[in-house]
Chain A
């Protein structure tokens, strides 16, 4: 029945619609890869400008970087991804405290990374979309006399339309995978409160 009722023109129309749909889908993904690349590039330029500014004291640099990175890096989402299935079983109070402690923990790490900055250069070398909401932006961090480090950024188009970085993968080592496996080791041994206590000690 269906075959017979579709004439050639209709078939052509259907095919066209399909092509447009597929191409449209492709174009949307491509835009997200380009936009992700732009995000990482522009933030990278701004971060380097701060790091290389000789007139800034370390504390000023730190404050400026926190301000710069606060939007484009979604610490709360990262914190939740790291906790994984343990997020749901945590109480609301635990969740709130965890987010707060994780933020302090991350900023503390940022401050220590700041001290080892030694003129390295940052260059975005490619990007591709990995699914309908995530893209992977590839970059190289190179310093004098060192092999360049491969640093990939996972960028997500969030529900509200903003692009945010949700993971950084350095030479194949993902921040989220690493922290998740460490945090869950602590949770399995001493529970969510054990993790919170460890984090409290750190910050």
Chain B
């Protein structure tokens, strides 16, 4: 595993922005994207709509809270890996409150008490904070937009998750029954899809190249998560003079 990690560090570029799309696998990625869209159209989207129709909002919120709470140990570990004691404390405090007083996480007691918005962390973000660049764009089957760094992070997070170590048969890696893990992943996918029904529809409606739109949206969202929501760094995209050297002063509208 660490060999792969070292290889990634060597292969990947620094975290700062690069010109161009860095998508050498675009033809394959586009094919996988189409595959994912077919799956989404056949299963995920219809189930998400049914779920929204049959489950009232308070129930869906409870399920979201429960799933977020289950994710907390991984978030906490990565808060600590990133050297963010303040955020780690928030994560831990909320976990205790919600688990003990919030019916095992069904109620977001922390949120009700006015704690700031829940944040997510994962090992991909931790690697980014350590300076590992994202590398080429990868469209994973089932999982969607990713890159070598975040794919690696996803695998590490599975190992970081204590829930994968406890089960009826005892303690040890993958002691947890596979059905439980599958149920959790499905519930997470359904919840995420349900929350994004309108957003997906809007992107589909307004984009002229859905694959390219998804690629840039995924990257920007990810970059924003890694910066913990700080505004994007200043860069050249706002400097029209770079593109129009003949006419540097012409910024008039109309």
Tell me the A residues contacting B by CB distance below 8 Å: 74-77, 80-81, 83-85, 87-88, 109, 112, 116, 130-131, 134, 136, 138, 147, 150, 152, 154, 156, 158-160, 164, 166-167, 169, 171-174, 176-178, 180-186, 195, 198-199, 202
Contacts and interface: CB of A to CB of B under 8 A. Distances in A.
A172 B217 contact: no
Contacts, number: 109
A156 to B, nearest CB: 7
A172 B223 CA distance: 8
21 contacts: A77-B240, A81-B238, A83-B243, A84-B243, A88-B243, A112-B206, A130-B234, A131-B234, A159-B250, A160-B252, A171-B229, A172-B220, A177-B220, A178-B217, A181-B216, A182-B207, A185-B211, A186-B209, A186-B212, A198-B209, A202-B208
A73 to B, nearest CB: 9
CB-based closest 9 A-B pairs: A172-B224, A185-B212, A181-B216, A198-B208, A182-B212, A76-B253, A173-B220, A159-B251, A74-B253
B15 to A, nearest CB: 15
Interface of B: 21, 117, 198, 202, 205-209, 211-213, 215-217, 220-221, 223-225, 227, 229, 231-232, 234, 237-238, 240, 242-246, 249-254
A2 B238 CA distance: 42
A147 B117 contact: yes
Contacts of A152: 231
A88 B207 CA distance: 24
A152 B233 CA distance: 13
Contacts of B229: 150, 171-172
B220 A186 contact: no
Contact of B227 (A109, A131, A172, A177): A172
Nearest to A180: B237
A164 B253 CA distance: 10
Given A80-B243, A173-B221, A174-B220, A75 B253 contact: yes
A199 B234 CA distance: 29
Contacts of B202: 112
Contacts of A76: 253-254
Contacts of A176: 237-238
A77 B250 CA distance: 10
Nearest to A131: B234
A81 B253 contact: no
Nearest to A154: B238
Given A77-B253, A80-B243, A147-B117, A181 B231 contact: no
Which of A77, A138, A152 neighbours the largest number of chain B CB atoms within 10 Å of its CB?
A77
B83 to A, nearest CB: 22
Contact of B224 (A112, A171, A202): A171
Contacts of B205: 112
B232 A174 contact: yes
Which of A138, A167, A177, A182 neighbours the largest number of chain B CB atoms within 10 Å of its CB?
A182
A131 B236 CA distance: 12
Contacts of A88: 243-246
Contacts of A171: 221, 224, 229
Contacts of B238: 81, 134, 154, 156, 166-167, 176
B224 A173 contact: yes
Given A74-B253, A154-B238, A172 B221 contact: yes
A87 B220 CA distance: 23
Contacts of A166: 238
B62 to A, nearest CB: 14
Contacts of A182: 207-209, 212-213, 216
Given A160-B252, A172-B229, A172-B232, A80 B208 contact: no
Nearest to A130: B234
A87 B221 contact: no
B237 A84 contact: yes
